[in-house]
Amino acid sequence: MTDADTRTLEFDLAALRERYRHERDRRIRPDGLRQYLGSRHNFGYWAEDPYTPRQERAAKSDRVEVLIVGGGFGGLLTGARLREAGFDSIRMTEEGGDFGGTWYWNRYPGIHCDIESSVYMPLLEEVGTVPSRRYAPGEEIRRHAVAIAERFRLYDDVLFHTRVTALRWDEDDAEWQVCTDRGDRIRARYVVVSSGTLSQPKLPAIPGVESFRGHTFHTSRWDYGYTGGDQAGGLTGLADKRVAVVGTGATGIQVIPHVGRDAEHLYVFQRTPSTVDVRDNRDLPRNWTSNLPQGWQRERMENFLAVIAGEDTETDLVADGWTSTARLQRKMLSGRTDDTLDPGEREMLDEIADARKMNEIRARVDATLDDPATAELLKPWYRYMCKRPTFSDHYLQTFNRPNVTLVDTADTGGITAMTETAVVVGDSEYEVDCVIFATGFETGVSGVVSGTLPVHGRGGVQLLEAWSAGPRTLHGFMSHGFPNLFHLGSLQNANSVNFVHILQEQATHIAAILERAGSEQARYVEPTAEAEADWLATIRRVQIDNGDFLVECTPGYYNGEGTRRRGGGGFSPGPVRFHEILREWRATSMDDVIVPAPVLVNE
Ligand code: NDP
């Protein structure tokens, strides 16, 4: 299809492109990423744990076989796979007061997983958990994380409320020295870092924010003592309160219907509207998994991953808002493989499918809202994957309530100021009792990449110095000069909206390597510099050029607030192909990273 052919479309593609450009330019801020405060700023108390009291304990000074940093799904899955592989000496460290990671911290009213439970909640068959709803409530997912820890004995030697502060390689003993903020000095043969990608609350640097005298908190530290109720709602403490919610991303969309229902008055401060598609959540029969054949979850997870990644699949087992959109784009490509399409033609077909989806989403806003002016403000004007898509059957309806006001802040780049009693946007002041920040998380701050966890490898070399010209890894997991150290995450690895599936593959991979290292009685595990260079070259060679997609998007964390042209430097042909590469590597090349122990000769 050419530009000329687009005149036959049922909408004006040129006008749409112009509108998207205009809305993006209206939203872009010169201060980019500097517009936010980290939670370590004066508002550090917002990052404290409201759920579990911190216990005093004696510092540890001992040795373990494997130390896993992070008790979210990545750490739990690695622990589970290592237990299955026969590892006994496993210690986990976690900054929260229990397992669960994001599901430990995020307990706001309305919290649900926005990916179907059957493919999102890992190890359902192994643990015997049966999700109660198609999209499970957050508390159920948190309890499942706890159940995984119990099933695989990961509570045995865990250190909660503990942050690893440094890792230093000891070449003589071939092990890591691990320091923590609780004074621990632990020696570990292997270290696995799974400290998450979206974990530190992020706050807008609004002038005057510190002068506000009312109540404030971030959604990932919900204050039920103030609001009353629980994750199912019933926020009776807000009945006589004027409440502001700042932010309308995936979290805001879930929180706002509850606050709107229970607050005396709710002001929603929106900067960029989200795409809000149909949710269609429902209860599941009590024992819905009992007649499914063994291995059903793996089959369903693989199918979801493939459909979302745009692979050519005959069936769509999950068949929901995520997969139908991916299939819409696939259909536009008429089943033709990447090679048979001219890249320009492929991009045009993608763009048309995208525009049709977004037209549908905007039409839903018109069909739901009573007030046409509010409907206009709630319509998103950007391409579908510019921001995390959201799903709700209650969010848009909330704006039909008489006690709910939508305050659009796009023209001022967000809230302009706060006073002792009010939120200010331009010339208007909104007097409120409470401000709830649904403003998201810092990206990439956790772990070794940001330098918050300094790592000194062989010869005392710092990891970030070794990576000064860019990260160098084998498949994203290991680095030359840093033996026995493994990373989970999307760096030079795969990515997907169902990130738990990615973590599960990573855990399987790491456990397989450690199992082999054990059986070979390795001195340590380390890739060669050549293997790293080959992987970097592979990533660059297969990089799919998305042109200016990201840079033309409305600002958000996907494109570094409009500053980034490319994604996270992962394997761009997608997770299905990447997992094939890992399987092949395990079958043929795993021994390449095993450095054998020296043979002792009796004199
Ligand atoms: P986001 O970063 O997606 O959203 C932050 C919101 O705050 C945006 O609406 C942003 O506006 C707004 N904002 C920031 N600064 C200001 C300001 N100065 N004035 C007004 N508004 C402002 O965070 P979320 O917590 O919503 O989501 C983060 C991620 O967490 C998701 O993308 C998803 O990956 C995950 N998540 C997953 C869920 C699941 O069910 N699996 C549920 C919830 C979250 P703007 O868009 O203009 O920047």
- Packing angle, helices 73-84 and 499-519, rounded to 10: 30
Answer yes or no: is 267 within a domain.
yes
d(CA 598, CA 603): 15
Task: Specify the pLDDT at position 303.
Answer: 97
Check pocket membership of 142 for ligand 1, CB cut-off 6 A: no
Q: Whose CA is nearest to atom 28 of ligand 1?
A: 440
Task: Specify the pLDDT at position 486.
Answer: 97
Task: Return the ligand 1 atom nearest residue 440 CA.
Answer: 23
d(CA 222, CA 374): 28
Check pocket membership of 204 for ligand 1, CB cut-off 6 A: yes
Q: Whose CA is nearest to atom 19 of ligand 1?
A: 414
Structure tokens belonging to residue 340: 């048979």
Q: How far is the CA of 251 from the centre of ligand 1 (A)?
A: 6
Check pocket membership of 248 for ligand 1, CB cut-off 6 A: yes
No. of H helices and E strands in the chain? 17, 21
Check pocket membership of 574 for ligand 1, CB cut-off 6 A: no
Give the pTM.
Answer: 0.93
> ∠ at Cα 392 (23, 219), nearest 5°?
80
Q: How far is the CA of 595 from the centre of ligand 1 (A)?
A: 44
Check pocket membership of 122 for ligand 1, CB cut-off 6 A: no
Task: Return the ligand 1 atom nearest residue 120 CA.
Answer: 41
Answer yes or no: is 603 within a domain.
no
Q: How far is the CA of 99 from the centre of ligand 1 (A)?
A: 23
Task: Return the ligand 1 atom nearest residue 114 CA.
Answer: 40
Check pocket membership of 269 for ligand 1, CB cut-off 6 A: yes
Q: Which of 134, 248, 274, 436 to mutate to test the pocket of ligand 1 (most atoms within 8 A of CB)?
A: 248
Picking from 551, 543, 276, 250, the residue whose alpha carbon sits closest to that of residue 386 is: 551
Q: Whose CA is nearest to atom 15 of ligand 1?
A: 204
Query: Does residue 163 sit in the same domain as residue 262?
Result: no
- The secondary structure of 75-114 as a DSSP string is HHHHHHHHHHTT---EEEE-SSSSS-THHHH---TT-B-S
Q: How far is the CA of 388 from the centre of ligand 1 (A)?
A: 9
Instruction: State how beta strands 390-391 and 276-277 pair.
Output: parallel
Q: Whose CA is nearest to atom 37 of ligand 1?
A: 250
d(CA 246, CA 436): 6
d(CA 442, CA 458): 30
Q: Quick one: DSSP state of residue 484?
A: T
In the sheet that 242-246 helps form, which strands lie side by side, from edge to edge? 215-218, 434-437, 242-246, 265-270, 404-408
Q: Which residues contact 70 (CB under 8 A, 6 or more apart)?
A: 92, 93, 94, 101, 193, 194, 195, 196, 446, 488
d(CA 42, CA 44): 5
Q: Which residues of the chain have pLDDT under 70?
A: 1-4, 38-47, 328-341, 444-447, 545-547, 564-568, 600-603
Check pocket membership of 247 for ligand 1, CB cut-off 6 A: yes
Q: In whole angstroms, how far apart are CA 98 and each of 44, 81, 221, 246, 453? A: 20, 20, 14, 28, 21
Answer yes or no: is 252 within a domain.
yes
Q: How far is the CA of 271 from the centre of ligand 1 (A)?
A: 10
Chain-centre distance for alpha carbon 50: 22
Split into its structural domains, the chain has a count of 2
Q: How far is the CA of 387 from the centre of ligand 1 (A)?
A: 9
Task: Specify the pLDDT at position 43.
Answer: 56
Q: What is the 3-state secondary structure (H, E, C) of 113-171?
A: CCCCHHHHCCCHHHHCCCCCECCCEHHHHHHHHHHHHHHCCCCCCCECCCCEEEEEEEC
Contact 597, 523 (CB under 8 A): yes
Query: Does residue 413 sit in the same domain as residue 518?
Result: no
Check pocket membership of 114 for ligand 1, CB cut-off 6 A: yes
Contact 496, 308 (CB under 8 A): yes
Q: Which helix (H) or strand (E) holds 353?
A: helix 343-368
Check pocket membership of 106 for ligand 1, CB cut-off 6 A: no
Largest CA distance in the chain: 91
Answer yes or no: is 350 within a domain.
no
Query: Does residue 91 sit in the same domain as residue 115?
Result: yes
Check pocket membership of 169 for ligand 1, CB cut-off 6 A: no
Q: Which helix (H) or strand (E) holds 191?
A: strand 185-193
CATH code for position 456: 3.50.50.60
Q: Which residues contact 552 (CB under 8 A, 6 or more apart)?
A: 20, 21, 24, 383
Answer yes or no: is 325 within a domain.
no
Query: Does residue 236 sit in the same domain as residue 88?
Result: no
Using the 3D structure, point to which of 437, 465, 492 is the last residue of a domain.
Answer: 437
Query: Does residue 189 sit in the same domain as residue 213?
Result: no
Check pocket membership of 577 for ligand 1, CB cut-off 6 A: no
Contact 242, 432 (CB under 8 A): yes
Q: How far is the CA of 490 from the centre of ligand 1 (A)?
A: 20
Q: How far is the CA of 439 from the centre of ligand 1 (A)?
A: 5
Task: Return the ligand 1 atom nearest residue 249 CA.
Answer: 26
Query: Does residue 416 sit in the same domain as residue 524?
Result: no
Answer yes or no: is 464 within a domain.
yes
d(CA 257, CA 266): 10
d(CA 9, CA 18): 16
Q: Which residues contact 175 (CB under 8 A, 6 or more apart)?
A: 63, 169, 187, 188, 189, 484
Instruction: Print burial letters for 296-332: b (CB count within 10 Å at least 16), e (below 16).
Output: ebeebbbbbbbbbbbbebeebbbebbbbebbbbbbeb
Q: How far is the CA of 95 from the centre of ligand 1 (A)?
A: 22
Query: Does residue 485 sit in the same domain as residue 393?
Result: no
Q: Which residues pair with 159 in a beta bridge?
A: 93
Using the 3D structure, point to which of 384, 409, 437 is the last residue of a domain.
Answer: 437
Task: Return the ligand 1 atom nearest residue 388 CA.
Answer: 32
Answer yes or no: is 16 within a domain.
no
Q: Identity (one letter) of the amino acid at 567?
A: G
Query: Does residue 206 sit in the same domain as residue 196?
Result: no
Task: Specify the pLDDT at position 331.
Answer: 59
* Average predicted confidence (pLDDT) for the chain: 91
Instruction: State how beta strands 90-93 and 164-170 pair.
Output: unpaired
Instruction: State how beta strands 185-193 and 63-69 pair.
Output: parallel
Using the 3D structure, point to which of 393, 416, 437 is the last residue of a domain.
Answer: 437
Q: What domain range is 218 assigned to? A: 202-279+372-437
Query: Does residue 415 sit in the same domain as residue 456?
Result: no
> ∠ at Cα 512 (510, 517), nearest 5°?
95
Q: Show the beta-strand stretches assigned E in 411-538.
A: 417-418, 422-425, 428-431, 434-437, 455-456, 485-487, 522-525
Q: Which of 271, 411, 416, 436 to mutate to test the pocket of ligand 1 (most atoms within 8 A of CB)?
A: 271
Query: Does residue 225 sit in the same domain as residue 247?
Result: yes
Check pocket membership of 415 for ligand 1, CB cut-off 6 A: yes
Structure tokens belonging to residue 302: 């693989």
Q: How far is the CA of 248 from the centre of ligand 1 (A)?
A: 6
Q: How far is the CA of 160 from the centre of ligand 1 (A)?
A: 27
Q: How far is the CA of 438 from the centre of ligand 1 (A)?
A: 6
Structure tokens belonging to residue 76: 């739990």
Contact 527, 478 (CB under 8 A): yes
Check pocket membership of 385 for ligand 1, CB cut-off 6 A: no
Task: Return the ligand 1 atom nearest residue 36 CA.
Answer: 15
Task: Specify the pLDDT at position 334.
Answer: 46
Answer yes or no: is 218 within a domain.
yes
Query: Does residue 190 sit in the same domain as residue 223?
Result: no
Check pocket membership of 409 for ligand 1, CB cut-off 6 A: yes
Check pocket membership of 471 for ligand 1, CB cut-off 6 A: no
Q: Whose CA is nearest to atom 16 of ligand 1?
A: 414
Query: Does residue 459 sit in the same domain as residue 392?
Result: no
Q: Quick one: DSSP state of residue 455?
A: E
